[in-house]
Amino acid sequence: METEPHPDLTVSREELLVQGSDSPFRDMLHDMLSLLASLEHVRARFGGFIGLTGVQYTLLVSVRQLQRETGVGVRELADHLGLSAPFVTVETTKLVKLGVLDKAPNPDDMRRVRLSVTERGRSLLRQLAPLQREVNDAIFEPLSREDFARQCQIIRDLRRSAERAVTLSDYLLDDSGSQQ
């Protein structure tokens, strides 16, 4: 007969409990939140170095990563970053005005646009690259090649499960934070 988990536990999966305690799980979450805060800080510093916000920096480097020969669409960029398309549209419009992104009609669907990095944007990212390398190498110093490959898979899997958990939390909790 299966027993009910202790009412104070924040997880019930045996894989996440150590000797019946969720304390190591909570420690891991706090470490992840601290890591996220550090990454956000570094992102803001990278953006600031080239005159952008952290989010704008992320959009710029993501366009560079995804654009291929024809540019990248707003929806693809939004999906890649887990952001809403309207938010990406607003922020990329600012980047076009700053001259770091170019926006062109999508030849396959004239209602849509394709984004690409301008020469000015590439130049700014080249100026930042030496600092980026040094900071990123410091952040990820503890990882071996095998650790890195495994971490990439774990983070990808956690992103997918977290997206499902967001939907679940929206279903289970109302705006006031109480259960439905």
98-127: pLDDT as tens digits: 999 999 988 877 778 899 999 999 999 999
Average pLDDT score over residue span 67-75: 92
What is the sign, positive or negative, of the torsion defined by CA atoms of 93, 94, 97, 101? Answer: negative
Question: Residue 2 has what pLDDT?
Answer: 57
The pLDDT > 90 percentage for the chain reads 83
pLDDT band for position 140 (cuts 50, 70, 90): very high
Domain over 28-141 is classified CATH 3.50.50.60: no
pLDDT tens digits along 12-28: 999 999 999 999 999 99
Identify the weakest region by mean pLDDT among 4-13, 26-35, 119-128.
4-13
83, two tokens: 């952001």
Question: Residue 180 has what pLDDT?
Answer: 47
Radius of gyration of the chain (CA): 21
